[in-house]
Every structure is written in C-alpha cells, then in structure tokens.
Amino acid sequence: MSEPFVINGVQIGPGETRDIDIFVAKQYDFTDLDMPVRVIRGREDGPRLFVCAAIHGDEVIGVEIIRRLISHKYLRKLKGTLIAVPIVNVFGFNNLTRYLPDRRDLNRSFPGSPNGSLAARLAHIFVEEIMGNATHGIDIHTGSRHRTNLPQVRACLQDKYITALAKEFDVPVILDADIIDGSLREVSVKHNVPLLVFEAGEALRYDEVAIRSGLSGILAVMRRLEMIPPVTAKTKRVDPIIAKDRYWIRADQSGILIIKKRLGSIVNEGDVLGRISDPLGNHNIEIRAERSGLIIGYSQLPLVNRGDAIFHIATFAKQSSVEKSLTDFDDKFDYEER
C-alpha cells in the first residue's frame, strides 16, 4: 500500500503526473501569481526529490534545466517522486530581477512565516509544500548579474552522504559552503533534507554547457538514489575535486577591466589575470593571482569600481588534481569549444 502524497491539497497517486499551480499572491491588477509545480510520481515508492530554480528570479538557467529534466525519457521508469519547481521566485522572474518587489532576497528569508513579508510568505509556502514533502533536494543557481560561474556544486561537506551525492555531478569542482542565515540550505539542515546547490553560468543568460552539466548531474544523482535505471552504455564521467578554500580578487581601483584569464583557467600565484586601465591607456594596473587555483567565477562587466569583486578563485590541496577533472569536463561538454 503506497503512502498518500498530497501537495497544495492535491493528492497524487502512484504513476500519476500532475501540474499544480500554488497560489502565492494576487498582483496589483488582481490576477493571481502562482508558483508552477510538476509532480511526477512513479508507480513504486522511493525517494522524493525536489529540484528547484529561480529562487533568485533572474537566474534562468535552472528553469531550462528543469524544462529538459521533466520531459526526459528516463522518467518513464521513475521510482519515487520528482517535484519540479522551475520558478520559485515568480515575482522576480517576471520582472527580470533577483529580488521580490519589496527588494527582499528570498534566499535570506527562509523558513519564512505565513504572516510575514511577501518573501517570508513565499518562503513559508515553499517549506510547507515542497520541502515538507521531500526527502532530498537540488537547488539551482547562477552567478548574479554580469557575473558567470564555472559549473560547480556547493554543499555541506561535513556530511558524508551529501558529499557522495555532490560527487555524482559532472563538475570540475565542489565547494564546502558555509551556511548562510535564511537560506534554503539552512532550512534543509533543520528539516533533515540533504540539499545540493548547483551553480553555473550567469543571471539572465542561457549557457548550453551549464544547462547540460546541470541536467546530467541531476540525472546522475537520481541514478544514485535509484530513482531511475543505471546507464547501460559506458558514459564519460567527471571526477570533481573538492576545493580546499576559495577567495575573491577585488579591484584596487575603478576603471576599465580587461580580462586576460578566462573562466576555468588554472592559475599560479602571481599570474596576471587582467588589468584595469583608463580610457586613454595611460594607466595599467595589473591584477595578479594571490594564490594558485582555478577561476570558478568572474565579472563579465568591463567596468569596475574600486572594491568590486572580479575573480573568484578556488584553491586545492594539490593543484594538479583539478587539471584532470577539467580535462574530463571539457571532453564531456566541449567546454573549450564554446
């Protein structure tokens, strides 16, 4: 006898797929704003995995990853339940912004409350209806506006089980990320729902490598959870390296930024990564790597203010270890060919 599965008052039976619009609020014009959810329940019980995107409304890559995921052929043999939430911050998505209309950041508003701000209410709905129904979660993010990230997973690596799931992703690097107050990750720990954060690409842009890498990683995690059948053909895998640490390089001075090292470059201490110039080229300030590592994120905007974060660099216990995972990543997704 299967357990009942109820979301937003809708019961979903074994083998059923349902699209459910969860009411969030009315807009100024009194039309409803709903959070769209697809629930795909396999015939057999198993893990209940939620995959969500656009908690930051302008981080659209995850929307496309989920769009491809829910029509994937492997789901025909699904065991357990997939809860797909392509757009959590529906307000931000419709307005091309990270935030809610009151400028609040949804990923600082968890667990929320039914009587708080709009962000708190939306967070509360997500925790009650989505996380409350799940055993595992994957949350998809991108860099913020004008910033792009190399595909990477961030998770709580003190937890061996979460680390093993994170390693299923075909990404070059995994980061042990501190838990931020009010984030979905913080609430996932309280709810005992193992959560992985996949980060790739830039806000408001599609990036095919980021999309394919994310989709492939989610399917690999589902395989590991035995929600979908194992692959029979031999497929290329990437063995991600856990970063020891990471740091940001900030602009010492405002000006025009010229990037010399691209995303995914391995850099050595002292390497010139770019320079800041003035419009007439009279001044050229070099930006150098403070420590050896891998560029996992950088600014795409060629204009910087003093103090702006320009390069995000992950460091490793053994620098050479990440070279192989980068090569494998390139082989699998043609990263260099972009």
Applying CB under 5 A, the residues found at the interface with Zn ion are: 56, 59, 141
Name the minimum Å distance from CB 153 to Zn ion: 14
- Bridge-based pairing state of the strands 293-299 and 309-315: antiparallel
Contacts with 315 (C-beta within 8 Å, 6 or more apart), sequence order: 243, 244, 245, 246, 247, 291, 292, 293, 294
Q: Which amino acid is present at 318?
A: K
Minimum CB distance to Zn ion smaller for 56 or for 312: 56
Calculate the alpha carbon distances from 298 to 3, 251, 253, 304, 327 in Å: 46, 12, 17, 12, 20
Name the minimum Å distance from CB 139 to Zn ion: 8
Would you tell me how many other CB atoms lie within 10 Å of the CB of residue 186? 17
Structure tokens at 202: 């830039």
Minimum CB distance to Zn ion smaller for 119 or for 227: 119
Minimum CB distance to Zn ion smaller for 59 or for 168: 59
Name the minimum Å distance from CB 199 to Zn ion: 8
Name the minimum Å distance from CB 98 to Zn ion: 7
Number of H helices, E strands in the chain: 7, 19
The residue sitting closest to Zn ion, measured at its beta carbon, is 141
Minimum CB distance to Zn ion smaller for 47 or for 201: 201
Question: Considering just the CA atoms, what is the radius of gyration of the chain in Å?
Answer: 21
Name the minimum Å distance from CB 57 to Zn ion: 9
Name the minimum Å distance from CB 56 to Zn ion: 4
Q: Which amino acid is present at 31?
A: T
Minimum CB distance to Zn ion smaller for 141 or for 261: 141
Name the minimum Å distance from CB 89 to Zn ion: 10
Residues 287-298 as b/e (b if ≥16 CB within 10 A, e otherwise) read bebbbebbbbbb
- Strand segments, DSSP code E, in the chain are 5-7, 10-12, 17-26, 32-41, 44-53, 79-85, 136-141, 147-155, 173-176, 195-202, 241-242, 245-250, 255-259, 266-267, 272-277, 284-288, 293-299, 303-304, 309-315
Name the minimum Å distance from CB 197 to Zn ion: 8
Minimum CB distance to Zn ion smaller for 149 or for 325: 149
Minimum CB distance to Zn ion smaller for 17 or for 300: 300
Minimum CB distance to Zn ion smaller for 88 or for 241: 88
Residues 14-33 as b/e (b if ≥16 CB within 10 A, e otherwise) read eeeebebebebeeeeeeeee
CB 173, CB 167: distance < 8 Å: no
